[in-house]
Amino acid sequence: METIDKVRGKIYIQKYQAMNVIEGVKIVDLKNHLDEESDFGELLRLTDSGKLELFPNFSLKQINRTRLNPGSVKAWHVHFQQDELWYIFPSNSLIVGLWDIRARSKTQDVTMRMVLGGGNSQLLLIPKGVAHGSANISLNHVDMLYFTNQHFNSKDPDEGRINWDILGSDFWKPVRD
């Protein structure tokens, strides 16, 4: 089809292929039950022996909550002993970045970007050795729950830090089309 001069040669097709997935990272879609007055969703279910049904090798030790301020970028941090499960409420939206910095991983140096929340109910498993962070690009606070398989120890924290912009500050900006 013929187009006007302003856009001729500038139209592109958006790509919908699956993203690269870092070894050990798991994204689980949760069922969100809606009715006319509310919604309900299970986050985690335990077996009779106390294991997480969706993550049987994850030994739950601590449940944490954090609130991210509008415009904040919380990155990069990495744990060497701890795995995490992240949950963002469907009514919130958060850009999440993951970066495989493990030297012997099949997906070494692979990055992932995704949006958690945004109307979806999902759990994100982040294995130890995968650097992670987030950007709240909304005008509202974002509340996050995260579950760990290690106890936090303020005297010996398992939390390495990497400069937020090591992959470039554009990593944390929304992709605009």
What residues are paired with 99 via a beta bridge? 111, 131
pLDDT tens digits for 150-160?
999 999 999 99
Question: What pLDDT was estimated at residue 170?
Answer: 95
Question: What pLDDT was estimated at residue 19?
Answer: 74
pLDDT tens digits for 57-101?
999 999 999 999 999 999 999 999 999 999 999 999 999 999 999
Buried b / exposed e across 134-153, counting CB within 10 Å, b at 16+? Answer: bbbbbeeebbbbbbbbeeee
More confident call, 23 vs 32: 23
Question: What pLDDT was estimated at residue 10?
Answer: 82
45 CB-side CA count, 13 A: 7
What average pLDDT does the segment 129-134 reach? Answer: 98
CATH label, 29-151, candidates 2.60.120.10, 3.30.465.10, 3.30.540.10, 3.40.640.10: 2.60.120.10
Question: What pLDDT was estimated at residue 30?
Answer: 94
**Torsion on CA atoms 67, 68, 69, 71, rounded to nearest 10:** -170
What pTM was estimated for this model as a whole? Answer: 0.89
State both tokens at 161. Answer: 């830090």
